[in-house]
Amino acid sequence: LNRIKASGLKLRFCTNETQATREKFVKKLQGMGFDISVAEVTAPAPAACRILKERSLRPHLLVHDDLVPEFAEIDKANPNCVVIGDAAENFTYANMNEAFRVLIGMEKPVLISLGRGRYYKETDGLKLDVGAYMKALEYACDVQAEVVGKPAEMFFQSALAEMGVPPQQAIMIGDDIENDVGGAQRCGMRALQVRTGKYR
């Protein structure tokens, strides 16, 4: 990372992290010694907030407690859509039923998903990611979620625009063959899969 920054190459961190605000996420990485700032991070929650504002959507949130502050400025009264993120311990039976009831009660259900990952690895083992729970709600309500975050093309395009770099001159580095590599390639970027993290 330091060598990339020293070389003058432009750099952006594209994360599907939705278990924490960008501030908290960046602080954690800084604490591990990484040279990173909030302004360098492209993340699903702020992208979703832009969409909610543009379309006058008021979300019912099924997200991690630590992500809620990202939606502080969003009107959440009388919801007309559901936003689902990697809610982790908040993926309870009661919370899933509640999100389902909000969706099924709409004339035309709107489901926005912060990523569509299948699973990820933590120190105590593999965990189901938001994509699995998104599929559950999609099936129950016969609706297709709008995915914000990797591997959505729009997400990579935002990151490229923020750097002012065309896709042909950019390379994506990640450990997920679909979210990182597949999404970037469909945008015209090159991509490199690292065999760390959840690689199996």
Where on the chain is the footprint of a second copy (CB under 8 A)?
A: 88-93, 96-97, 100-101, 104, 118-119, 125-129, 131-133, 135-142
Placement of tokens 């009661």 in the chain = 94
Nearer to a second copy by Cβ, of 115 and 167: the residue is 115
Amino acid at 122: E
For the bound state, the minimum distance from the C-beta of residue 127 to a second copy, rounded and expressed in Å, comes to 5
For the bound state, the minimum distance from the C-beta of residue 111 to a second copy, rounded and expressed in Å, comes to 13
User: Token pair of 194, please?
Assistant: 């690292």
For the bound state, the minimum distance from the C-beta of residue 85 to a second copy, rounded and expressed in Å, comes to 14
For the bound state, the minimum distance from the C-beta of residue 179 to a second copy, rounded and expressed in Å, comes to 14
User: Token pair of 172, please?
Assistant: 């994506």
Nearer to a second copy by Cβ, of 105 and 166: the residue is 105
Through-space distance between the first and last CA atoms of the chain, rounded to whole angstroms = 24
Tell me the C-alpha to C-alpha distance, in Å, between residue 104 and each of 21, 115, 137: 29, 21, 9
Strands 125-128 and 119-122, by their bridges, are antiparallel
Nearer to a second copy by Cβ, of 51 and 140: the residue is 140
Report yes or no: 159 and 125 within 8 Å, Cβ to Cβ.
Answer: no
Nearer to a second copy by Cβ, of 102 and 189: the residue is 102
For the bound state, the minimum distance from the C-beta of residue 30 to a second copy, rounded and expressed in Å, comes to 29
Residue among 86, 101, 65 nearest 133 (CA) = 86
Nearer to a second copy by Cβ, of 13 and 120: the residue is 120
Q: How far apart are CA 131 and CA 182, in angstroms?
A: 16
